[in-house]
Amino acid sequence: MVYIYIYREKCINTQNKANQSEPHRGGKNLLHFCSACLSAAFVSLASMAFVGAVKLFLSFALWLYTLSSPSQGKLNFSEFRYPFIKKASSFPSSSSFSASGSAGNGYDYIVVGGGTAGCPLAATLSQNFSVLLLERGGVPFANANVSFLKNFHITLADTSSTSASQYFISTDGVLNARARVLGGGTCINAGFYTRASPRFIKKVGWDAKLVNASYPWVEDQIVHPPKIAPWQVALRDGLLGLGVSPFNGFTYDHIYGTKFGGTIFDRFGRRHTAAELLATANPDKLTVLVHARVQKVLFDSSGKQPRAVGVIFKDENDNEHQAFLSNNRRSEIILSCGAIGSPQMLLLSGVGPKADLEKMNISVVHDNRFVGKGMADNPMNAIFVPSKRPVVQSLIQTVGITKMGVYIEASSGFGQSKDSIHCHHGIVSAEIGQLSTIPPKQRTPEAIQAFINRKKDLPQEAFNGGFILEKLAKPISTGQLTLINTNADDNPSVTFNYFKHPHDLRSCVNGIRMATKIVQSGPFTNVTQCDRQTTEKILNVSVSANVNLIPKHINDTKSVEQFCKDTVITIWHYHGGCHVGKVVNPNYQVLGVRRLRIVDGSVFDESPGTNPQATVMMMGRYMGLKILRDRLGKAAGF
């Protein structure tokens, strides 16, 4: 019986490892599997000698660990549960492009971009049709910086060519990141999950019944209730004290007042991404290629209207491949590359402003002056709040949905990892905070590196505390996206024109004033054990702590308007560039060409809800179901 107990403990330990490393929530399945094995082991051990029992135990434990260990490599591990995920180099060489537009039978759908929308879209379409999903990044499952909440900021710190986040700076001078990994933005974001408002659903013309069936499909698989941190409770109480009421408790719904939302981090701090939604796919009809960097969409222009027929992509070895659609007129290429990637892909493929394309020597497939226009980002400003007592790490869990056009959120304890203090922390970073003292356009990579080099001298105590975050709900200011070159791997030039419209600046001022009052409130002074300070001191204490996101000049701290301009950062909620009625029709099919559609946030003229990931994942599921229903009718079965 002693051996049975040891055997059981090993299985449970292995199950705990699986909870941290498996791509799907397979820890539960593994525990069921271990339970079955325990019964068999009891019989075996009862009839075996001690040595034989130990050998059996060690052999089985080693085999079981092999299945669950992240050390087996990204693809080997993912293949255990996702046999359809393969390296791009495994794709067979195809024949050259021809007017027939296909090689072999081709695919019913080619989805470009395995991100927040692309994964649920591909999984849904695969229930009835053959789907090729092309993702330029790798898999997230064995990447500890992606998988664990405590490493959230380290993911953003990795600026290597293989990083899950691709670093870029907008022409406004704001540091940013776009996802480069299967699962997209759900792999590098702060994890907050909340639905869009009914107003937004009605505005974009979605079927409310289908929307209400699509959200739970996502939530049942990867969304969790948060383990509320003290910092988040203080924010709740501070918001309610300022009249941001009622308190709506824990809910996914977008409701005025204060609430707790969902999260894609489980209670162990492990992230669950859109990549896990692929577990619902039909493995016989879905092929997912990672490290497949799509170069452009191929068109057949021999008819009255250009027709998308395939794509060119490069694999991890930089070898070029072509993949084609079937000849069925209902087959489509669907771009789900995100608000940065989809307009960029259209331009690289010859769909966009004729003059701009000709400057880049890109053959014009369709002249559309609106591609890349109307780019927007929800500007965010943060106030650092020091604490005299250690704080528990938390990302966004509480949100105040105000009636003045701003959202109030918070994060705390971002320096939890022992290596974290010496890393670049993305939007809540010492080097970026110090760079707020100079105009945005002077925040160069060289300047950033200089501050990073000085960061090692900062005391650990400087990283106590957290942030109050204020962001605009619906910015009016917009910009544009243009190509810098024709290399699909490079970032395009992006301008957001933060606070160009005076209404946006007024909204920011209102939000910052509310945020400072929250810092001054009793709930926060109780948590931080810091005395109540004036607004100016609150801003200046952030400067003296050296981890702030506010300017150091005293004149800046006296002008809230200047504070908004100088400390603007992003929260990755950019959208636009492929607007409905200008680039796509209401079904998101690209105007002027056939068999090409876009399903991602680039079609939005506002970011849905307080945080868009819930709605973008739902959108992937929704559009997959809608496409199936439009194509199959009653045979779709829903």
Q: Which amino acid is at 417?
A: S
Ligand-binding site membership of 494 (annotated): no
Ligand-binding site membership of 2 (annotated): no
Ligand-binding site membership of 385 (annotated): no
Q: Who contacts 54 (Cβ-Cβ below 8 Å, separation ≥6)?
A: 3
Q: Catalytic one among 321, 573, 575, 579?
A: 573
The whole-angstrom separation of Cα 302 and Cα 156 is: 45
The whole-angstrom separation of Cα 32 and Cα 508 is: 52
What are all long-range contacts of 239-243, with beta carbons under 8 Å and residues at least 24 apart?
239/398, 239/400, 239/408, 239/518, 241/521, 241/522, 241/523, 242/514, 242/517, 242/518, 242/521
Residue 439, Cβ density class (10 Å: 0-12 exposed, 13-18 middle, ≥19 buried): exposed
Ligand-binding site membership of 461 (annotated): no
DSSP letters for 397-430: -EEEE-SSSEEEEEEE-TT-STTGGGS--GGG-H
CB neighbourhood size of 638 (10 A): 9
Ligand-binding site membership of 601 (annotated): yes
Query: How is residue 296 written in tokens?
Result: 């452009």
Ligand-binding site membership of 198 (annotated): no
Ligand-binding site membership of 294 (annotated): yes
- Say how far residue 365 (Cα) sits from the centre of its chain: 31
Element (H, E) at 59: helix 50-68
Ligand-binding site membership of 612 (annotated): yes
424 is catalytic: no
The whole-angstrom separation of Cα 240 and Cα 228 is: 17
> Quick one: residue 560, left, alpha or beta (phi over 0 = left, psi -120 to 50 = alpha)?
alpha
Interaxial angle between packed helices 27-47 and 50-68, expressed in degrees from 0 to 180 and rounded to the nearest 10:
170
Which three-class secondary structure state does DSSP give residue 608?
A: coil
Ligand-binding site membership of 135 (annotated): yes
176 beta partners: 168
The whole-angstrom separation of Cα 578 and Cα 345 is: 11
- Give the residue ranges of the annotated binding site: 135-136, 181, 294, 572-573, 601, 612-613
- Give the residue ranges of the annotated binding site for FAD: 135-136, 181, 294, 572-573, 601, 612-613
Give catalytic residue positions.
573
